[in-house]
Chain A
Amino acid sequence: MRKEFILLSLLCIGFALFAGCTEQQAATDELKIGVMASMTGPASTTGKDIWQSAVLAADEINADGGVYVADLGKKIPIRLIQGDDESTREGGQKAVSRLITQDNVDFLVGGFSSAVVSAHQSIVAEHKVPYIISGASSSAVSRRTDIDTSYMFFHRPNAEDSAEAIMLFIDREMRPALNEKYGFSADRPLRLAIIYQDTSYGTGQRNAVHDHIKNYGLNIDVVAEESFKMSESDFRTSLTSIKAANPDAVYTVTFLNELVPLVQQGRRDVGLDTIFFAIEPNDDPDYYKGVGTYGEYGVLQSRFSPYAAPKETEAAHAAFVQNFDKRWGGFPGMMGVATYEALYVGVQAVENAGTLDKVAVRDALNDLEIPQMIEVMEDGTIVFSDEFRESKFDLYLAQLRWDQDAGETRPVIIYPDSLKETDFVLPDWYKPGQG
């Protein structure tokens, strides 16, 4: 026991040393921003994207002289501090508390995965640090009532928003096109199958699909519903069930690594010659590369695409993609661009507040209204809603067309009318469902 005691005291000294090392000097002439990102663990691809995009934004602002704070009467530079949540709940809580007390950050951005964010929200709420969340998309996170979320702002569409875009498109554009081409009666309901990842993300989307059908009174029948475990790679049995239900289209809720085999197996192995709808995280260069010809004529819901940009933000999109490539090599992803924007949003709020005081910054975020940057926003402005402090995106749909030069498919925007480049096409091999 005595030996253990010595060991314990040594450990305590070690503890003291490492805590001492991390203690930061309180420098007032910096704007300290904490970036919550999963730098390790299963979500690290997204985490790196978030961190790299945040660095890009901070570098740009610093190159421009920094952030003007009226209280200090000068421009101060930004210092980014990384909070690695390790893709776990415990890691997230440790990282957030370090950012808040060791590093004394002025505000936080990032925050990916609803499970991870929900486990550190209460600490943020209790310490009243403004937090612009650009990841976690579940409404269960943004609409919590058990804690004070008044310091949390959400710059991402929630599950309901992305399902809304797809469902309205299916009802208003695809259904009439189908009925006309195949001579169906105009009141024939469209037969939709859903296949979703069995996670918070997937079930949220599935529920949203049903809610939209009910609330908008859409003429769509859900004829099949299949779920799969996260990171599944064999979808053949589920797809066979779906094929047996004779759908006109398949709504998929997946991540990139699932969508590639799903579409390949659906088109090649099961012979499901239909239109696959996919949601925004899949709009990534690796999807186009991975899915090959089988991706042709599939429809992607998106807000930031590597290969397509709505006319109104084309220049900003191109500049961002180019700068990102120059700084880091490769393409930024959707979570990255949202974090990049979130950083600018936070900086603007600090400038508007004219102080680093957290209450003032929070109030400034509440009143904030700035023009859209890269992602297209509703009414062209980034503004947080009164009730849950969520910004509202103008989401679009793109259809994949074969590009001979690239040897891959490329997206063209087909919806909504305000952003579209061309019309939706039903390919020759397409087979409508029966029944």
Chain B
Amino acid sequence: MKSLLDSPRNRMYAIIACLLMALVLPILFGLNLYILTVLILMVIFIIYASSWNFLTYTGQGSLGHAAFFGLGGYISAMVASASGISPYITMLVGGGAAALVGLFIGVICVRLKEWFLAMVTFGFAIIIQTLMVSQFAGVTGGWDGIAAPRLISSAVPNYLLVEYYSIVLIAALVVLLFWLILRSRIGLAFAAIRENETEARAAGIDPVRYRLFAFVVSAYFSGVAGALEIHHLGYITPEIFSVDISFWPIIYSISGGLGTLAGPIVGTIVITVLWDGLQTLGITYARFIIIGLLLVLIIIFLPKGLISLPDRIRKYLEGRQKTS
């Protein structure tokens, strides 16, 4: 039975089914604005969390990805409003800017130990925010921020639905790209570095180069996600560099499952539904406590995240069958 579930063909069917569901979901709800807003933000955060998670394949982590998310947003917003080019193109420029800064930070960070890396990335988000509101205030509008052109003009009928589909498509392409990278030689090198750096080095793999590569790719797509969010919201302010924005992808990825492609996707969906669901039930502060508890419990009892839950349950049931 197990082999049946894991065959590539079935896996393909599952992915297609998921995508189809993503496509029909908003229609099922009668193009409801609230559902669409939640879905759009959710898919943007799927891209963002997946990019963050890409770092963990090389055993790195970051507490300051808001730096890239925000940079992508700012650069794309500035280029789009100055040139009038579609945000779908300028977001690539935004991602490029984030990747460039990512390369710079990466060069400093790749040799650092985990705690230092965490602090340095955290610090960079603050440094970049400070630069944006002081030295670059002339172009960024300082604390007042600047308007960003919408992804799709509201004159287009059902513009939010079109926007949603385009973002789903981008998310699918990003995840596909990550999948291609990870199944290539690069992915093997990542795994070798993560498992044992010394052995990897002995096998002729340069950990620094691969870590740097992961950092840049992660920064690039975080920047794209940030640009998408900003063009969706229509305005950007320096609050985009806040700690929350750095922490959400971590929470999403951990709860879904670190170091897997499906992890951040499942995590983002579960936490979003939980978060907004609890709010409709009128739970406020307790929501943060619930999320915090969930995070702690998952780290302790389910280190591979929620995606390992069905497996765990099946093993548990099998175990019980055997003993009975």
Chains A and B in contact, CB within 8 Å: yes
Q: List residues of chain A with CB under 8 Å of any chain B CB.
A: 1-9, 11-12, 14-16, 18-19, 21-22, 39-40, 84, 88-90, 93-94, 97-98, 100-102, 114-115, 118-123, 126-127, 138, 140, 144, 146-147, 198-204
State the 3 A-B residue pairs at the shortest beta-carbon distance, nearest first.
Answer: A122-B234, A200-B143, A140-B144
Identify which of residues 32-62 in chain B touch chain A, using a CB-to-CB cut-off of 8 Å: 32-38, 41
B266 touches A (CB below 8 Å): yes
Task: Give Cα A140 to B137, complex, Å.
Answer: 14
CB pair A7–B307 under 8 Å, yes or no, is yes
User: Which one of A2, A84, A114, A200 contacts B14 once the chains associate, using CB atoms below 8 Å?
Assistant: A2
CB pair A115–B269 under 8 Å, yes or no, is no
Shortest B179–chain A CB gap in Å is: 12
Chain A residues within an 8 Å CB radius of B229: 90
Contact with A along B4-23 (1 / 0, CB 8 A): 01100011001101100100
Can you give 16 A-B contacts (C-beta < 8 A)? Answer: A1-B5, A5-B18, A8-B18, A8-B266, A9-B21, A14-B273, A18-B280, A39-B284, A40-B287, A120-B233, A121-B234, A122-B154, A122-B234, A122-B235, A200-B144, A203-B143
CB closest chain-A residue, reference B283? A40
CB pair B262–A122 under 8 Å, yes or no, is no
B303 touches A (CB below 8 Å): no
CB closest chain-B residue, reference A98? B34
B136 touches A (CB below 8 Å): no
A6-B310, A7-B307 are contacts. A90–B41 as well, Cβ < 8 Å? yes
Q: Is the interface of A mostly helix, strand, loop or mixed?
A: helix
B198 touches A (CB below 8 Å): no
CB pair B270–A94 under 8 Å, yes or no, is no
CB pair B37–A97 under 8 Å, yes or no, is yes
Chain B residues within an 8 Å CB radius of A7: 266, 306-307, 309-310
Shortest A104–chain B CB gap in Å is: 11
Chain B residues within an 8 Å CB radius of A94: 34, 37-38, 41, 276
B318 touches A (CB below 8 Å): no
B82 touches A (CB below 8 Å): no
Contact with A along B126-161 (1 / 0, CB 8 A): 000000010000000111110101100010000000
CB pair A16–B37 under 8 Å, yes or no, is no
Chain B residues within an 8 Å CB radius of A122: 150, 154, 233-235
Shortest A35–chain B CB gap in Å is: 14
B177 touches A (CB below 8 Å): no
CB closest chain-B residue, reference A6? B310
CB closest chain-B residue, reference A119? B233
Chain B residues within an 8 Å CB radius of A93: 37, 41, 233
CB closest chain-A residue, reference B31? A101
B116 touches A (CB below 8 Å): no
CB closest chain-A residue, reference B277? A18
CB closest chain-A residue, reference B280? A22
Identify which of residues 248-273 in chain B touch chain A, using a CB-to-CB cut-off of 8 Å: 262, 266, 269-270, 273
Shortest B132–chain A CB gap in Å is: 12
CB pair B144–A1 under 8 Å, yes or no, is no
Chain A residues within an 8 Å CB radius of B143: 198-204
A11-B269, A88-B244, A115-B237 are contacts. A5–B14 as well, Cβ < 8 Å? yes
CB pair B311–A4 under 8 Å, yes or no, is no
A40-B284, A101-B34, A102-B32 are contacts. A114–B6 as well, Cβ < 8 Å? no
User: Which one of A3, A97, A123, A126 contacts B307 once the chains associate, using CB atoms below 8 Å?
Assistant: A3
CB closest chain-A residue, reference B159? A126
A40-B284, A121-B235 are contacts. A2–B5 as well, Cβ < 8 Å? yes
Shortest B273–chain A CB gap in Å is: 5
Task: Give Cα A1 to B10, complex, Å.
Answer: 8
Chain B residues within an 8 Å CB radius of A16: 28-29
B25 touches A (CB below 8 Å): yes
Shortest A229–chain B CB gap in Å is: 9
Shortest A302–chain B CB gap in Å is: 24
Task: Give Cα A147 to B154, complex, Å.
Answer: 10
User: Which one of B5, B133, B273 contacts A15 once the chains associate, using CB atoms below 8 Å?
Assistant: B273
Task: Give Cα A11 to B271, complex, Å.
Answer: 10
User: Which one of B15, B144, B311 contacts A3 once the chains associate, using CB atoms below 8 Å?
Assistant: B311
Task: Give Cα A18 to B33, complex, Å.
Answer: 15
